[in-house]
Structures are given as C-alpha cells and as structure tokens.
Structure 1
Amino acid sequence: MEAYAHIFFQIAIPLVVCPTRNSLAQKIRSSRLITLAFQEQQMVQRHVTFATVFGLFATLPLFVAAQQSANSGQSAQVATNSGYSQAPTLEGGNGVTADIAEDDAQTRGLIEVRPLKGTLQPWFNFKKRLNDNIGLKLNFSYQGLYQHANPTLTDVKDAAAVRGQIQGAWTLLGRDTTNPGILTFRLENRNTVNRDIPPTSLGLQFGSVTNTGTGFSDFGSAMTELAWRQTLLDGKFKFVTGKISAISWYNTYALSSSMRGFQNTGLQSSLSKPAPGRALGFGIGIEPHPHFVAVAGIHDANGKTTDNPFNTIGEGEFYYSAEFRYYPTTPDRWKWDSLKFQIWHQDQRVNAGTSASTGITFQASRLFEDRWYPFVLGGISDGNASIFRADLIAGLGVAIDTKNRVARDAFGVALGWGNPSNDRLQDQYTAEMFYRAQITRAFAVTPAVQFFVNPAANPKHDGAVVWSLRSRITF
C-alpha cells in the first residue's frame, strides 16, 4: 500500500501545485505527461496486483496441506561425518552455520570406491576431536562454475571461475548449553579461470539484469564473514553482529544456495529488495511460539564484500528489515516448510544516486513426502534501491533416490518474472533447470540451463540461453 501511496503523491502533487505563471499550453503539455505517467503506473500496478494475488493464492494449498499433515513425513535423523549437529537456523542456504552442518551430513555417491571409502575418515575424526575439545567446527570446500551464453551482444560468450572457502563456527561461550555464544568466520578466494570474465559478469553480455553465476566472481581473497552469534532464553532469542550478509537472512528458501541450488540471482530470492554487500550489521531473532519467528536487522546499505566494513558505515545510510515467519511443522523442517513476509526500508544513498525506498516480500514453501518441494516468492517496492519494482518466482524441487542408495541428488526448476525499477528497461522472464548429482561422498556436479525472454537491457534480442556446469568438493 505504501508503494501505491507513493505513486499517488507523485502524480497528484504536480496537479495541485502547478505554477499559475505557466501558459495554458504548458499546462496541457504537463497534463499529457502526467497522463502518460499515470498509464504507465497503472500497467505496473496491474502487474504488481497480479503478482501479489497469484502469490498469495499459490501459498494456500501448501499451507492447507501443511496443517492437515503437520506431523507426516518427518525427516529421519541425519548421520554426520564429524558429529556436527544440524540445529535449526534462521539463515538461508548460504549462511556459515547452515553450510557447515549441511556439508557434514553423510552421503552416498553414485560411485563408491571401496579402497578409498575410509580415506577421509581420519580427517573427520580430527574435526570431531577439535569440536569436542575446544568447540571449533571447520569446513572446507572448493567449487567451480563454467557457463556458455548464446547469443550475446559481444564476442564474449564463455565465463568460468573457481571459489575456495574456509569457514568455521567456534563456540566460545556456553558450550553444551542452550545459550551458546559462537564466533563465525568465512575466508574466501574467488578467481576467473582461463576466461576474460567470471560468471557473475556473463549476464551483462546479453542484457540480463539478473546474475547468471551468483557467487562466482573474481575478487581474489577476502574475509566475507566475521560475526558473533549469541543465543539467549533457551534458544528463544538470538542475535548476530559483525560483518554479515544482508541477503541470506531474508526471503530465502531451501534452494537459494548458489553452491547447491539455483545459480541465477533472480531465482534465489526476490530482487524487489536491495542487495547490499557483506558489511557491518546487527540482527535479532525471536521465537515467541514454536510456529512463529520474527527476524529483524539493520545493515550498512553501502557495504562492499571485499572492503573494510568500517569504510562505509560512517555514511550513515542503512538497510532496515523485519521478517515474520510461520512454520507449520517442526523446527527440523524450518528449512523446507515456511511462510515468510518481509517489510524493508533503505535510506537514500547519496553517492550511489538511489532514492529512499520501501517494499515488502513474501515466500512460501512446503516439502511433501520428503521429496516434492513446491515454492513461490516475490515482492513489490517503490524507489530505485532494488533491481526490480516487482517480481514473482515459482518452482519445484524434487529429491531423487537412485538405485540402491539414498543420496542428495536433486532436480530443480523455476520460472521468474521481474519488472525493473528503471523505467527504460523491459520486463524480463527467467527460467532455470538443474540436476545436482552426488558423484562420490564428497564430490557433486550440477549441469544446468537458464532461459531468458526479453532480457531487460537488450531490446535487440528476444532471448538468450546459458548452459552451465558446476562442481563442488567438500571436506
């Protein structure tokens, strides 16, 4: 509603305060411009209304079913390599604590080489002792992504990059209690491999405003997280402060991770909200009821992931967010079964030339029979702080069991529509399909294809296709 009010005042105020010294011709000309602007805004409103109504109605079957079978299909206890527990987290798939637990889960690969089966066990035993003795959990991973686009506006059609990371969660206070204090960190190295550009720049070659290769840039080495996480009141109250992500906390779902799920940024969460870099921030989470959680935060709106976080905090321009969540089942299924509504506001960014903006997002998902995972999300906003003024994403994830094994293979498909906040750009439609195959216990590959219809900044081409292959090894 605030977005509609903003549009109303943009149109109404010039009519009321039109200077009397203007000639009749000037007034007529102004009236025509206002009429055109109004017609354009009406078109946007129709898109926004459709997106919002569709999104809300699409959530109803998910949550009716959730209420009818809240206790069905409970996930079995997951076996681990190093004993890292999978406690419920308030972050999305790219969070440090979620990443560590996810990578420690035991899996079976398509290829089981018996002589090599126990090769990593001494390493896992060492990590377990480290955690048991001093409360430090460690995780190492190395991933690569190659992408090919066609057609493009330039001669550049290929992009490739690798990403190595070391991350940890060190429980320094309250170990083995319900109120731990944890220091989390992530050190990354990202580099282009034998190509002119990394995958994060490939979309620009054919006019896409969404990133085709999220997380695979070439900034070199950087500490991308260093934060303190504290739990209080027996887990009912949590807070985090330090250099953190403003993206992975809000409007995410189980396939948002750029290392395990969809690669296109526009399908990982709503881009009707801003996307500041990893920088100084503070967030809280409150659980007043087992089915209800509220998460709120304040983040440096000018933060850049590779910069010193204290370089921009003094500008005093912030991104504020509050998200209200309903979990219809149990905490071990928070990752899959959720309904979220976010309200956000970002201050004017003077140097960046973006106005103060406000918006809302929603997300709904439900896991059926521990296999079928439909989801829908989107949002609306005013101003130009975000890529899209309005967007809507819907899709399906499917867990795949292959012969004689239960693995982490997964299929995902999603379709997204976005109306750019820049009025000079056209609406863009994006789709992606991927299959994540667990080749061995520690190695996975993900072939994928992305389709683009009417790339927002490219009126010369009706569409483009991006083929990609992602690999990931964890230990």
Structure 2
Amino acid sequence: MMKRSVQVCCRSQPGRSLVLVGLLATALTLPVMAQAQQSSNQPSTYAGYKTNTGGLEGPEGVTEQLSVDDIAVPGVLSFPKIDGFFKPWFDWKKRLNERTGLKLQLSYQTLFQRTNQDVPYQDAFGGRWQIQGSWELLNRGGRNPGKLTFRIENRYLLQNGIPPSQLGYQFGSVAPTGTGFSDFGTALTELAWRQELMGGKLKFIVGKISAISWYNVLALSSSMRGFQNTAMQSSLSKPAPGRGIGFGFGYEFNPHFVMVAGIHDANAKTAENPFDTIGEKEFYKSVELRYYPTTPDRWRWDQVRLQVWHQDALVAKGTPASKGVTFAASRLFDEKWYPFVLAGLSDGNASVFKKDIVAGLGMGLNTRHRAAQDVLGLAVGWGDPSSDLLQEQTTAELFYRFQLVEHLAITPSVQYVRNPAGNPNRDSALVFGLRARITY
C-alpha cells in the first residue's frame, strides 16, 4: 500500500471546455506516479534508485520522492509500446546516476476541484510541473556521502479564476482544499546540501528548504499522492512558513529512537528570494522525537512523533512569539490497514488552529488485474481556530488513488467541511476533486 526564487509568472487561461478536454487527455496519454510500495527486498525500479532509508522529511521531500517515484508500478491498462518508448529515458537516468551520482526526476500534476456552494468561483483548476534531483558529490558510494538536492517548480492556472489552493476560502474554510496547487509561476523551491556523518547516524541539511514537510507528517501527507486538504496532512496548530533558508539535523540514538531538530526563516515565502527575509532574524525552531516501534525499513508507516516548537515574534506582521506541541502516530497492519492520528496544541498566535485533532485510515485494496494495490484514504479532523471570532470547523476527506497506466496515477476525491470557520452563515460545503500525476 503506502510501502511502496527565481520567479517567473506563467499562467494559462483556456476556455473551460478545452480545459476539461485537456485534463482528460492528460489522464489518458501522459506518463504519473509510481505508487509507494515497500518490502524486505529492494522493489523493482525504473532507474535503479535505491530506497530512501531514514529520511528527515516526510513524503514531500526531494530524496523521498526520487525513491518512491522510481518504484515500478503496473497500471490498470497496459500499453507495452508506450512503456517501451520511455525505457531509454530510464536507462539513461540509471547510467547517469552510476557515472556521476546524479539522480533526476520530472513530474507533472493537475488538480481540478469544484464546490457545491454558490460562490464567485465554484471551480478551480491548476497545474504543476517540477524537476528535482539529488547529486552525490562527496564520498559517493562511501560511508558518509554528501549530496546537493534541488527542485524547480512551475505552478499555474489551467483556467480563468483561482487555483485550487484558494477554493476553500471562497466558502469560509480556513484550511486549503487544494494544497500544493497555487499559481506563483516558476521558482527554485529547494537548493540544499545534505550530509551524512557517523555512518548515517547523524544527518544534516542546510540551504533553502521546507519547514512544513519535516514535522508532524505521515505517509499519506503528500499533496501529490495522499490527502489534498491541508488539515488532513498535518496539525495546523503549528506555523507554516514558506520554503526559505534553514538548517536541520537528525540523530539516530538507536534504530528505534531518532531526534530531528531544525531552525527555519519564519518569514520565508516559497517563490521569493530567501535572502529578502532572512535578515529579519525571526525564526521558527523545532525539536521532534520519533519512535519507530518495528523495524527500521518501516519508518514511513510505523512511527510515533512528538514535536515541540517555538516561533519568534514577527514584528512586521504583528504576530507575538508563539509556542506549541504536536503529536502523530501511525501503524501499518497486514500490509493493508493504516490507521493514524494527528493532534496539536498551541497558544494560537502563529497558527490556523490553537488545537486540533485528525484521525484517519488508509487501506490498500488488492486488485486482480495487477500486482500493485490501490489506496483508499479517509480522514476526519476538528480544529478550534486561533481567532476567537471564528467558529470551530470539522473537515473530512475521502480519496481513491489508482494507477491508470504505468507512470500515471489518478485520484478522485470528495471533501466535506462542516461549519466553515470563516463563514457562520454556512452549515457545510462539499468539494469534489480529480488529480492526475505523471512521473518520468
């Protein structure tokens, strides 16, 4: 199941009918995601990339996506000639990695969402392509390798109106319904050095990095493979600065106990120059203790996390200093059932919620037509907003992810928002979504 600022605006605004045709064409013809699947043996891969072991980040991290998206996953439909057409590309990627230590991955994803509410924009349609990689430049193949990781993204509109990341705000939700699908154009969203020491027991990263994907996340927290609503991916009782300059490290006390800590620019904006805000010297600091109850190779699924964080006062924004704690726990049973819980508590100065809790279940569905498993995810969350002027909000999401063809995954979903926090005049709202992801 689960095992397995340089900025240039670029927006496309075709007519709605052409957009829908385009989405269907994308879903049927372009190569997406290799579904995460893990076993005690190295799974079959396209370019021979090894499984990421003991990563500091969650499923949105560069090294994790390089690993997971390279796992070979058969689709519902099979087109051997098309698959054969792309084989030289993957063979070239394998040779490039073997000769130089450079791993590359390209992906393209779209998300269409529609709400049943009578609001100015009922539809939202966005696209996102990205190029990312990892270049092992120090001690390649040795005990303590060092590597440069990078990601370049382009996020844009696929129709007139708003991107999916803004749809929820139309009816008063305080949590985005389309995480990761904004319209900031083209940006360098990661450039960092990662280093292992002490045979991998100590790892650190420094550069332009994410402060969100590190802490209080689970195997289904990916906006491209898992839940789409931000409230289902992680506790919103913690701050959410953009990708900016930061430093973090992880230390493995033993195979079951790990500590991860970091300091990040609290004013960072993902698509802007990170040096524009670091001079404010206002930081988000975090320490997270992780317990892996089973074997090290199951770190993605079998885990308990406890995070303590503090954020400096943000003078320009008028945000007082803030602090809080989050909790996350998950376990994979029988390689099929994946229950999880997320929770958080804070003083509410720097976060969407001052307290929240999410419970969910992932299910791997056996399929007769292929060896891979489809994934069904269901989660329900409650949050008490930081502002006393807003009402408590309950959010739920159901999605079904299946591999249509090799390299292409399709995910229909539905979200339900009860008592949208920012709109006391609405009792509830529904959001229907369709996501397509291509990887190669």
What runs of 5+ residues in structure 2 fail to find an aligned partner? 1-37
1:104 aligns with 2:70: yes
1:194 to 159, 167, 176: 159
- Residue 21 of structure 2 aligns with which residue? none
- Residue 222 of structure 2 aligns with which residue? 257
User: What RMSD, in angstroms, separates the aligned Cα atoms of the two structures?
Assistant: 1.0
1:460 to 425, 428, 433: 425
Report Cα offsets for 1:180-237 as digits up to 9, x if no partner: 1010000000001113000011011000000100000000000000000000000000
1:425 aligns with 2:396: no
In the TM superposition, residue 74 of structure 1 has moved relative to its aligned partner by: 5.6
Return the alpha-carbon distance in structure 2 between the equivalents of residues 432 and 76 of structure 1.
Answer: 33
Superposed, 1:323-338 pairs within 5 Å as 323-338=288-303
Return the alpha-carbon distance in structure 2 between the equivalents of residues 107 and 199 of structure 1.
Answer: 28
Return the alpha-carbon distance in structure 2 between the equivalents of residues 117 and 81 of structure 1.
Answer: 11
Name the SS for the 1:336 alignment partner: coil
Name the SS for the 2:286 alignment partner: strand
In the TM superposition, residue 268 of structure 1 has moved relative to its aligned partner by: 0.2
- Residue 369 of structure 1 aligns with which residue? 334
Of structures 1 and 2, the larger Rg is shown by 1
Report Cα offsets for 1:317-367 as digits up to 9, x if no partner: 000000000001122110000000000000000111211111000000000
Superposed, 1:127-166 pairs within 5 Å as 127-152=93-118, 154-166=119-131
2:374 to 391, 409, 422: 409
In the TM superposition, residue 77 of structure 1 has moved relative to its aligned partner by: 2.8
AA in 1 matched with 2:108: Y
Return the alpha-carbon distance in structure 2 between the equivalents of residues 195 and 438 of structure 1.
Answer: 29
Return the alpha-carbon distance in structure 1 between the equivalents of residues 410 and 269 of structure 2.
Answer: 30
Return the alpha-carbon distance in structure 2 between the equivalents of residues 306 and 183 of structure 1.
Answer: 20
2:88 to 96, 101, 122: 122
Q: Do the aligned partners of residues 215 and 408 (structure 1) sit closer, same or farther apart at CA in structure 2, a change above 3 Å counting?
A: farther
Return the alpha-carbon distance in structure 2 between the equivalents of residues 75 and 147 of structure 1.
Answer: 38
Name the SS for the 1:412 alignment partner: strand
More strand by proportion, 1 or 2?
Answer: 2
Name the SS for the 1:120 alignment partner: helix
1:276 aligns with 2:276: no
Return the alpha-carbon distance in structure 2 between the equivalents of residues 103 and 332 of structure 1.
Answer: 17
Between 1 and 2, higher relative CO (CA 8 Å, sep ≥ 6) is seen in 2
Name the SS for the 1:267 alignment partner: helix
Aligned residues: 402
Return the alpha-carbon distance in structure 1 between the equivalents of residues 315 and 58 of structure 2.
Answer: 30
Return the alpha-carbon distance in structure 1 between the equivalents of residues 417 and 52 of structure 2.
Answer: 38
Name the SS for the 2:89 alignment partner: helix
- Residue 238 of structure 1 aligns with which residue? 203
Q: Kindly indicate whether the alpha-carbon contact (under 8 Å) linking 2:237 and 2:348 is maintained by their aligned counterparts in 1.
A: no
Q: Kindly indicate whether the alpha-carbon contact (under 8 Å) linking 1:359 and 1:379 is maintained by their aligned counterparts in 2.
A: yes
More helix by proportion, 1 or 2?
Answer: 1
Superposed, 1:384-395 pairs within 5 Å as 384-395=349-360
What is the TM-score normalised by the length of structure 1?
A: 0.84
Q: Kindly indicate whether the alpha-carbon contact (under 8 Å) linking 1:336 and 1:366 is maintained by their aligned counterparts in 2.
A: yes
Return the alpha-carbon distance in structure 2 between the equivalents of residues 379 and 195 of structure 1.
Answer: 37
Q: Kindly indicate whether the alpha-carbon contact (under 8 Å) linking 1:327 and 1:337 is maintained by their aligned counterparts in 2.
A: yes
1:227 aligns with 2:192: yes
Return the alpha-carbon distance in structure 1 between the equivalents of residues 133 and 39 of structure 2.
Answer: 29
Name the SS for the 2:274 alignment partner: coil
Return the alpha-carbon distance in structure 1 between the equivalents of residues 41 and 413 of structure 2.
Answer: 29
2:280 to 295, 310, 315: 315
Report Cα offsets for 1:241-279 as digits up to 9, x if no partner: 000000000000000000000000011000000000000
Q: Kindly indicate whether the alpha-carbon contact (under 8 Å) linking 1:75 and 1:370 is maintained by their aligned counterparts in 2.
A: no
Q: Which runs of 4+ in 1 moved over 6 A?
A: none
Report Cα offsets for 1:417-460 as digits up to 9, x if no partner: 00000110000000000000100111111000000000000100
1:444 to 405, 409, 412: 409
Return the alpha-carbon distance in structure 1 between the equivalents of residues 269 and 196 of structure 2.
Answer: 28
1:172 aligns with 2:113: no
1:90 aligns with 2:19: no
Q: Kindly indicate whether the alpha-carbon contact (under 8 Å) linking 2:42 and 2:50 is maintained by their aligned counterparts in 1.
A: no
In the TM superposition, residue 87 of structure 1 has moved relative to its aligned partner by: 2.3
In the TM superposition, residue 408 of structure 1 has moved relative to its aligned partner by: 4.5
Return the alpha-carbon distance in structure 2 between the equivalents of residues 259 and 244 of structure 1.
Answer: 18
Percent identity, please: 59
Name the SS for the 1:119 alignment partner: helix
